[in-house]
Structure 1
Amino acid sequence: MTGKKITQLAVPVGVVGIVMMLVVPLPAGMLDFLIVINITLALVVLLTSMYVKRPLDFSVFPSMLLVLTLFRLGLNVASTRLVLRDGYAGEVINAFGNFVIGGSLIIGLVIFLILVVIQFVVITNGAGRVAEVGARFTLDAMPGKQMAIDADLNSGLIDEDEARRRRAEIAAEADFYGAMDGGSKFVKGDAIAGIIITIINLLGGFGVGMLTMGMSAGESLERFSLLTIGDGLVTQIPALLMAVSTGLIVTRATASEDMGSAASNQLTQSRTALLIAGSTAIALALVPGLPKLPFILVGVVLVVVGQRISAKDKAEAAAEEVDPAAAVTAPAADTPEALIEQMRVHALEILLAPDLVDLVGTGSDQDLLARVRGLRRKVAMELGIVVPPVRTRDSVDLPRSTYVVRIAGVEVGRGEAPSGRVLALGDNLDGVGGTPVVEPVFGLPGKWVPSELRHAAEMVGATVVDRVSVLITHLGAIIEANAPRLLSREDVRVLTEGVKQVNPSVVDELIPAMMSLGEVQRVLQGLLAERVAIRDLPRILEGLTLRAKVSTDVEGLVEAARQSLGPALAAPYAQDGVLRVVTLDPTLEQHLVEAIRPADGGAQLLLDPARADRVLGTLRSIVASAEASGREAVLVCAPALRAALRRTVVLALPNLPVLSYSEVTGAGLEIETVGVVSDAAALAA
């Protein structure tokens, strides 16, 4: 049998053996062996709880707590049977009793009672309370943690696999603290059971000694008191170790090092505290009547440690100092190249107020540059465009806590990210102190609350977002809305060169024989304006090749590109394989087709304003009703009407997708109609 199979069978066989131990008498030698195993296991659990870096690294602890508690109770039953039957329960119990009593029964009973009080009143109650509070706080904080993961995922900082791993870790953490809340009750019940069993052993043994074994009252009391105290100790000491382990586990915060290293680093982080404590200990040695040597020895050790920390800090500060000669920078060159570089207008730029420069750091709330890189990757994977490098710099002209996003030197977005605060989004924030604000992307009401009140905001059900996530979410929305402006002709060249490496024929046939790079750029910008991803560029170019043989009209080319993408346009809006659509009444649709007129910016609908308001109002109410029921709908119409209708609909419903019948039917989705738009006046006409 392999070692893996042995470890798999160890716990089940052990639990069955414990149950058998409750009913089958054990010889004294076997009991000694099991008591040693019990004490050793408790010691191993205690040391493991001290050396784990995170509570979740010892996730089996709640189950082990139950098994070891049952093991101790089984030993209690087996030892009680031997004590009352034979007046002897093995060498271990006898040795513990003699060692603790030390010739005095009163001293032994007092020490035993003190151990019981320490475990039951102090450690067990404290660990139980901490476990209960930890479980409640962990469960209350889960929504906020989940939203933080979603924010990181949406900003592109993490991928789906990392997000899935973090969500699983949060669920495991909640399960662990919930199990610890219940597991702490085992420790408390074990302490109570130990006290009751001890009383039973003492009274029962006294009676058995006098009535069955013919002992005198003094002999019976002395003999069975020794056995009772020894039995209590060999079970109470492991129980005490397990109670301490429980307390250590539930009071540990998530850290990157074990408890010993963390305690050493944190206790020695302040030289002033050590020097004051050492000086105080030395001063106490001068008080008459107090022993001088212990106070002087401890005080000198603390002062020496404090002085070593001071020397270490000075060395680190000296290493970080910058050579003044090296800090002097040469004056800026006045060459034409340098001036051209300074004049250059950056495609995408973030301006930060001076107090927001700390966002460009390495902490969880200071990783702006890393998050921007992740956002660029996310946009590339979703839209198919390469976002230009984002220039980040500070500006003394901005108000405090303000950031500005510019595209081609023009401000397109502005927001706030106050230092030392987090954004809490929710409806129940009246009791949480902070500055009211409206979230810039979704328009949700919220508050910028101090970081110290983060947990208080999570407790009232708010979603808490850090400053960098707010800025990155805002930047992502701006990039998506301005994607056509960000797609330059050079970007189109790079994209087509990439296609040419794997599919050269489609590029050579289209460019430059039929279309120029500028014309391809206008088509791709038209697709991005309707939030259509251009990742499948080879298929788009194939559609343009077929259409360009007939006409190079931009609107027709955009529609041809959409037709080539086909099912990819409708699939993102489907839910569980069902696409919910809003259709037009056939008569109204015919009126709209007849109202199409050519224009410089593409085909337009020439409608009476009152009729247009009625149609858009009906469409708006249908879409709102679908959204209220949790369904996302799209508007479908005839292919000849789609482009012109979208230009009209976008004025009232900018986020409503407008698809043609051919784009919907080719997706292989189940179609569900959620509403039909009609105009009574138009139908009557």
Structure 2
Amino acid sequence: MRNPSPALVGPFARFQAMPATLALPVGIFVLLALMVLPIPALLLDIFFVLNIAISIAVLMVALNARRPLDFSSFPSVLLFATLLRLALNVASTRVVLVGGHEGGAAAGHVIESFAAFLVGGNFVVGLFVFAILMIINMIVITKGAGRVSEVSARFVLDALPGKQMAIDADIAAGLVTADEARERRREVSVEADFYGSMDGASKFVKGDALAALLILGVNIIAGFAIGMISHGLSASAAGEAYVTLAVGDALVAQVPALLLSIAAAAIVTRVSDQRDLAGQIGGQFADPRGWLPVALILGAVGLVPAMPQTIFLPGAAIAAVIWWQLKRRADAPAPLPEPIDEPSPDTIVLADVADSTLVTIELGYGLVGLVDAQAGAPLITRITGIRKQLSRDLGFVLPQFRIRDSLDLAAQDYAVLMGGVSVARGSLRPGKLLAIDAGEVRPMAGGGHGLTGEPTRDPSFDCPALWIAPAARDHAIAEGFLVVDPSTVIATHANQALLAEAHQLLGPDEVRDWVDGLKTRAPALVEAVYPDPLPLAALTRTLRALLADGIGLAHPQPLFTSLALALQKTSDFDAVIDAVRADLGARLVARIAGPDEPLKVVTLDAGLESAILGGMVDPATGQPLIEPDCGSMIVREVNAVAEAEGSPVALIVQPPARRALAALLKTRSPRCVVLSIAELPAAQPIAVVGVIGARDEHPPGLAAPQMQELAA
């Protein structure tokens, strides 16, 4: 048989879904019909039974919920159940007042049974029973549940910002994934909405109780009036006929109202637990220490001569039996765990030989105290801090780091590994502090300074430093040193090493989460780039290249906009990267110059730049090859200019030469940023501070001719 066409499947599916979508509107119209249209007594009996069944079902769901949010629809259910009960009150009032003189059966068998069986046909007794139920419902249950709802809603709303911040902190620390964080945010929002709705829904129960009291009063007064005026009954006969039915009607409505009040109180007083309410209460009453005093007190009271021993002493015996059974269960040995089949010694699994952690920090055995929990684990705290900072700077959540000891390292050495390859190494002195001379140390009159310690170099920035005793900390700070502890040395060194290789930390999983986050804010922008024309692998390669060039992902919308515009012009990988860099040139310049500061620029001599562009070319990449002697000269002169200026500088070159010079200077001249002319913002003020490879006729302070025009 052929499959149905798609044109028929859609309408058929919508037709199947129509009953569910129309159930609530149809139910509301039925409630309105109950209020305004006369209905037969048989149908009224059916609705009364349905009302009682719904109330019992709501109570059971409330008691079996493991936490309040498992019954998040309760406020709406409470509203519709209250409307149903009020509609039945209106309908039953009409039936009682119209046919009450004919006897109890005229109002239906349910009202007749409640009036005859529960109160024995005596309407005075029924009035007192109804009053007691009203007191229990309104003053005790409803008032208490309303107060709990109000306080819970206030506390939940006050705690909402803190919960959101905790989720953001867990994302930054990598403790949760983006999907888990999204689910937790949804639960927090639903919780706030639920308790806010319950605060208002509790007013439904209170108003329903007041309405039942008023309806009973109207039925009694109207029954006397109609019975005596319209049907000529005496006052006693009218009271016997109408008031009895009115009380039965009120009790029929009040029993479901009491059940719903209990359900509301059970929901708002619940504490989240893995068990339902019965299991939670039973588990907490299973302590045998609470039942022995019960047995002893009941037994002591039962021995008093004036007390009924036939009740107290059996109660004491039952409590003693419960205590004995619980104590025996608590003293019973725990069941032995099932034996676990140990793997064969010659079995090797993938987890034994593979390390799935991307970043690992290895410590020599002399540095293990830095991760000791009893000492506060200072290194773990520092590593968590730099991971948050790196994630914030780079714009994506870094995978978790791993810290472990290594026998391959010396006792006081450490290493930072990325993908199993060492990217940073250093040596520490446990129990000492590192005093770093960052250029602010004030020399004494005779030269040098008064601080003594073991000379070394700061591993992060290669500044002169000293290992000093903790007691000399204040002295070092007074001398102008920057004093840090060993855990900070490792964390700072790891931060610098990982920041230099940040592009290797970005994988397809991180890119997917990054794109999903942007898709919630700018879906059309994402569709212009991903997955067509750039699938996940191509997009990962592109973003890694931009990260390697110093363009972070912390501001995804302008980056994706530039990428989308570049892809409209070309699909060549290098051309796309150059176009994005040119569009985001202001971001590159902002790394080394403020918005109102002139950019310190270094240029290449025209002849030198022409020689580089006209020289050998790498056949694999098509990029110019720089001869070793020429490269050494460029590095030396760039470093000399940066050292003389005391601040980072930018080397401005022609676009074809940017990649080759950037690769040359990236590790050899970290204080120099290589930019092409196209990446220089038009409104950026510049100051040419040097010309590399200039001849004698070009003084070092002047730019090459083409750069003079640019500067003008």
With normalisation by structure 1, the TM-score equals 0.58
Q: CA deviation at 1:310?
A: 2.8
Q: Where do 1:547-566 residues align within 5 Å? A: none
Question: SS where residue 93 of structure 1 aligns?
Answer: helix
Question: SS where residue 404 of structure 2 aligns?
Answer: strand
Query: Match for 1:112 among 126, 130, 133?
Result: 130
Query: Match for 2:178 among 156, 160, 169?
Result: 160
For the residues of structure 2 that align with 1:296 and 1:573, how far apart are their CA atoms?
A: 90
Letter in 2 for 1:171: S
For the residues of structure 1 that align with 2:596 and 2:94, how far apart are their CA atoms?
A: 91
Structure 1 residues 283 and 532 mapped into 2: Cα distance closer, same or farther (>3 Å)? same
Structure 1 residues 10 and 411 mapped into 2: Cα distance closer, same or farther (>3 Å)? farther
Letter in 1 for 2:95: L
The answer as to whether partners of 2:150 and 2:199 remain within 8 angstroms in 1 is: yes
Q: CA deviation at 1:21?
A: 1.5
Letter in 1 for 2:233: M
1:10-42 per-residue CA deviation (whole Å, 9 max, x = no partner) reads 222111110121111111111111111011101
The answer as to whether partners of 2:205 and 2:257 remain within 8 angstroms in 1 is: yes
Q: CA deviation at 1:110?
A: 1.1
For the residues of structure 1 that align with 2:96 and 2:118, how far apart are their CA atoms?
A: 18
Q: Where do 1:295-306 residues align within 5 Å? A: 295-306=312-323
Determine the structure 1 residue equivalent to 2:693. Answer: none
Determine the structure 2 residue equivalent to 1:93. Answer: 111
The answer as to whether partners of 1:602 and 1:644 remain within 8 angstroms in 2 is: no
For the residues of structure 1 that align with 2:363 and 2:375, how far apart are their CA atoms?
A: 26
Letter in 1 for 2:183: R
1:41 paired to 2:54: yes
Q: What is the RMSD computed on CA atoms of the aligned residues?
A: 5.6
Structure 1 residues 599 and 579 mapped into 2: Cα distance closer, same or farther (>3 Å)? closer
Determine the structure 1 residue equivalent to 2:564. Answer: none
1:62 paired to 2:75: yes
Letter in 2 for 1:42: S
The answer as to whether partners of 1:25 and 1:81 remain within 8 angstroms in 2 is: yes
Determine the structure 2 residue equivalent to 1:71. Answer: 84
The answer as to whether partners of 2:652 and 2:674 remain within 8 angstroms in 1 is: yes
Letter in 2 for 1:118: I
Determine the structure 1 residue equivalent to 2:641. Answer: 606
Determine the structure 2 residue equivalent to 1:432. Answer: none
Structure 1 residues 153 and 392 mapped into 2: Cα distance closer, same or farther (>3 Å)? farther
1:241 paired to 2:276: no
Q: CA deviation at 1:131?
A: 1.2
For the residues of structure 1 that align with 2:583 and 2:241, how far apart are their CA atoms?
A: 83
Determine the structure 1 residue equivalent to 2:357. Answer: none
Query: Match for 2:229 among 190, 211, 221?
Result: 211
The answer as to whether partners of 1:96 and 1:233 remain within 8 angstroms in 2 is: yes
The answer as to whether partners of 1:585 and 1:678 remain within 8 angstroms in 2 is: no
Determine the structure 1 residue equivalent to 2:208. Answer: 190
Q: CA deviation at 1:279?
A: 2.1
Question: SS where residue 606 of structure 1 aligns?
Answer: helix
For the residues of structure 2 that align with 1:647 and 1:259, how far apart are their CA atoms?
A: 64
Determine the structure 1 residue equivalent to 2:462. Answer: none
Structure 1 residues 227 and 477 mapped into 2: Cα distance closer, same or farther (>3 Å)? farther
Letter in 2 for 1:14: G
Determine the structure 2 residue equivalent to 1:278. Answer: 295
Question: SS where residue 263 of structure 2 aligns?
Answer: helix
Structure 1 residues 355 and 124 mapped into 2: Cα distance closer, same or farther (>3 Å)? farther
Largest Rg, 1 or 2: 2
Q: CA deviation at 1:197?
A: 0.7
Question: SS where residue 253 of structure 1 aligns?
Answer: coil
1:641-679 per-residue CA deviation (whole Å, 9 max, x = no partner) reads 98999999999xxxxx967357969xxxxx897x75779
For the residues of structure 2 that align with 1:60 and 1:562, how far apart are their CA atoms?
A: 55
Structure 1 residues 261 and 532 mapped into 2: Cα distance closer, same or farther (>3 Å)? same
1:333-387 per-residue CA deviation (whole Å, 9 max, x = no partner) reads xxxxxxxxx9955999851242769x99xxxxxxx9xx99x99x999x9899998
Determine the structure 1 residue equivalent to 2:268. Answer: 250
1:53 paired to 2:71: no
Structure 1 residues 142 and 646 mapped into 2: Cα distance closer, same or farther (>3 Å)? farther
For the residues of structure 2 that align with 1:594 and 1:246, how far apart are their CA atoms?
A: 79
Query: Match for 2:143 among 114, 121, 125?
Result: 125
For the residues of structure 2 that align with 1:388 and 1:181, how far apart are their CA atoms?
A: 45
Letter in 1 for 2:186: A
Q: Where do 1:324-363 residues align within 5 Å? A: 351-354=371-374
Q: CA deviation at 1:51?
A: 0.7
Structure 1 residues 484 and 235 mapped into 2: Cα distance closer, same or farther (>3 Å)? closer
Q: How many residue pairs end up in the alignment?
A: 488
The alignment-based identity, stated in percent, is 33
For the residues of structure 2 that align with 1:33 and 1:18, how far apart are their CA atoms?
A: 14
Letter in 2 for 1:604: N
Query: Match for 2:154 among 101, 118, 136?
Result: 136
Question: SS where residue 106 of structure 1 aligns?
Answer: helix
Q: CA deviation at 1:199?
A: 0.8
Structure 1 residues 297 and 570 mapped into 2: Cα distance closer, same or farther (>3 Å)? farther
Q: CA deviation at 1:311?
A: 2.8
Determine the structure 2 residue equivalent to 1:311. Answer: 328
Determine the structure 2 residue equivalent to 1:29. Answer: 42
Q: CA deviation at 1:253?
A: 2.0
Question: SS where residue 288 of structure 1 aligns?
Answer: coil
For the residues of structure 2 that align with 1:645 and 1:155, how far apart are their CA atoms?
A: 33
With normalisation by structure 2, the TM-score equals 0.56
Point out where structure 1 has 5 or more consecutive residues left out of the alignment: 321-341, 361-367, 394-404, 415-471, 496-523, 534-560, 617-634, 652-656, 666-670
Structure 1 residues 384 and 114 mapped into 2: Cα distance closer, same or farther (>3 Å)? closer
1:427-464 per-residue CA deviation (whole Å, 9 max, x = no partner) reads xxxxxxxxxxxxxxxxxxxxxxxxxxxxxxxxxxxxxx
For the residues of structure 2 that align with 1:255 and 1:4, how far apart are their CA atoms?
A: 35
Point out where structure 2 has 5 or more consecutive residues left out of the alignment: 1-11, 101-105, 338-361, 407-413, 417-424, 432-486, 508-543, 554-572, 606-630, 690-700, 703-710
